[in-house]
Amino acid sequence: MVKINECLLKMEKNNIFKNVALKVSEYKKKNPDKKIISLGVGDVSKPIVKPIIDAMHEAVDDLADSKTFKGYGSYYGYDFLKEKIIDNEYKDFDISLDEIYISNGTKTDSTSILELFDINSKICITDPIYPIYRDGAASLNRKVFILDIKNDLPVIPKEKYDIIYLCSPSNPMGIAYKKDYLKKWIIYAIKNESVILYDNVYSAFIESEDVPKSIYEIEGAKKVAIELRSFSKNASFTGVRCSYYIIPKEIKNNINEFWKRRTINRFNGADYIAQKGALASFLPESQKLIKDNIKYYKDNAKLLRKAFSNCGFHFIGGIDSPYLWVKIKENITSWEVFDIFLKTLNIVIIPGIIFGKNGDNYFRVSSLGKKKDVVEAIKRIEKYYNEKE
């Protein structure tokens, strides 16, 4: 009989967000009259803006005509998109076309990039964490170590680690790392010859002056950092699938070249239609509409911040990120608070335990939903906590 890859046993058995969905659907079945509002969503609610849709329609038509038909594209993405990304996002950092890779989602990229590094590399993640890093590393039989969190920031370790996952703006913690802090990580990585995997998919949400939009704003970062970005959360591409990442040639051991070797053999390039859509996201008319969408989510976040602070909660986030990370007031677990929100308030939140053991005193609230739902949820939350106290 075939034997199964034992690494799979080390991964979470269920998609952990599925546990939330299961509980919600069970409750709905028993209480069909209740109007449930989700503040749990990690997905966007705004549709893709018109200029991008038009570009994707055109791209579909290209495929129907032998003169414009596209078969296999470049393994690393079309130059038209790479040039546009460099022009718009990396102009100041001297990034060349062969340092950027187009792909089909940061979820995939954040794990597959580990194939670059020795199997015995010491990988560190934070707790709480975007759980894909942890389970992705487990699936490749990599060993992970957990960084402590102090004052809401991962503590820079004394020991040497090879790979460090940093997520900023952070999912789930909702905060973004400032320049001064990131400088210390870059110094650490240079000293220890480590590589930082910088998940920056929420960069469009950054508004604080002292938070860099890209890790390459920090001096020396091109020697040690791989930045991962996606069109998912800003251009509503969660269903279209297009992402990119930068592997600077300055990183030691020629990893940029090795990544090309790996990618030629493992990937046939991102979708042409998605890449045409991503290209159109940089049109001035798209940029304007995308900014409006981000502002819409940010306005939701502002309302949520106000409501949770009116109700006496301690929380972080919701400024440079769509998420609020809220401390539980009572002496109960995050699944227990999930149940109270679901059954008493008919609101879905994400229990912090999903993101790691240290998350069990917290829950995550998302501003990516519809404004009318956010407003209704806030009414329920304020009523409940004001009557209670």
Which spans of this chain sit near ligand PLP (rule: CB under 6 A)? 42, 105-107, 130, 167, 171, 199, 201, 230, 232-233, 238, 243
Distance (Å) of CA 7 to CA 17, 116, 139, 218: 21, 18, 5, 36
Coil vs helix vs strand at 351 = strand
Residue type, 355: F
Task: Select 126 or 346, whichever has its Cβ closest to ligand PLP.
Answer: 126
Bridge partner residues of 348 (DSSP): 38
Cis peptide before 128 (omega within 30 of 0): yes
Q: Considering the complex, what minimum distance in angstroms separates the CB of residue 201 from ligand PLP?
A: 5
Q: Considering the complex, what minimum distance in angstroms separates the CB of residue 237 from ligand PLP?
A: 7
Task: Select 105 or 277, whichever has its Cβ closest to ligand PLP.
Answer: 105
Task: Select 198 or 313, whichever has its Cβ closest to ligand PLP.
Answer: 198
Bridge partner residues of 199 (DSSP): 167, 228
Q: Considering the complex, what minimum distance in angstroms separates the CB of residue 270 from ligand PLP?
A: 11
Q: From 53, 93, 312, 129, select the one nearest 221 (Cα to Cα).
A: 93
Neighbours of 296 (CB within 10 A): 16
Q: Considering the complex, what minimum distance in angstroms separates the CB of residue 127 from ligand PLP?
A: 15
Task: Select 38 or 171, whichever has its Cβ closest to ligand PLP.
Answer: 171
Q: For residues 224 and 281, what is the distance between their CA atoms, to the nearest angstrom? A: 29
Residue given tokens 């001064």 in the structure block: 180
Q: CA torsion 61→63→69→72, rounded to 10°? A: 140
Q: Where are the beta strands (DSSP E) in 221-368?
A: 225-230, 243-246, 315-317, 323-327, 347-348, 350-351, 362-366
Task: Select 241 or 381, whichever has its Cβ closest to ligand PLP.
Answer: 241
Q: For residues 88 and 9, what is the distance between their CA atoms, to the nearest angstrom? A: 42
Task: Select 105 or 352, whichever has its Cβ closest to ligand PLP.
Answer: 105
Task: Select 195 or 311, whichever has its Cβ closest to ligand PLP.
Answer: 195
Q: Considering the complex, what minimum distance in angstroms separates the CB of residue 41 from ligand PLP?
A: 11
Q: Considering the complex, what minimum distance in angstroms separates the CB of residue 20 from ligand PLP?
A: 15
Task: Select 167 or 311, whichever has its Cβ closest to ligand PLP.
Answer: 167
Q: Considering the complex, what minimum distance in angstroms separates the CB of residue 366 from ligand PLP?
A: 10
Q: Considering the complex, what minimum distance in angstroms separates the CB of residue 172 from ligand PLP?
A: 8
What Rg do the C-alpha atoms of the chain give, in angstroms?
21
DSSP letter for 221, please. Answer: G
CA atoms within 13 A on the CB side of 336: 8
- Residue pair 248/222 in contact (Cβ under 8 Å)? The answer is yes
Task: Select 350 or 381, whichever has its Cβ closest to ligand PLP.
Answer: 350
List for the chain the helix, strand, coil content (%; round to 5).
Answer: 50, 15, 40
- Residue pair 381/345 in contact (Cβ under 8 Å)? The answer is yes
Q: Considering the complex, what minimum distance in angstroms separates the CB of residue 174 from ligand PLP?
A: 11
Residue type, 359: G
DSSP letter for 194, please. Answer: -
Which residues does 6 contact at the CB level (< 8 Å), separation at least 6?
none
Q: Considering the complex, what minimum distance in angstroms separates the CB of residue 387 from ligand PLP?
A: 34
- Residue pair 252/193 in contact (Cβ under 8 Å)? The answer is yes
Task: Select 147 or 311, whichever has its Cβ closest to ligand PLP.
Answer: 147
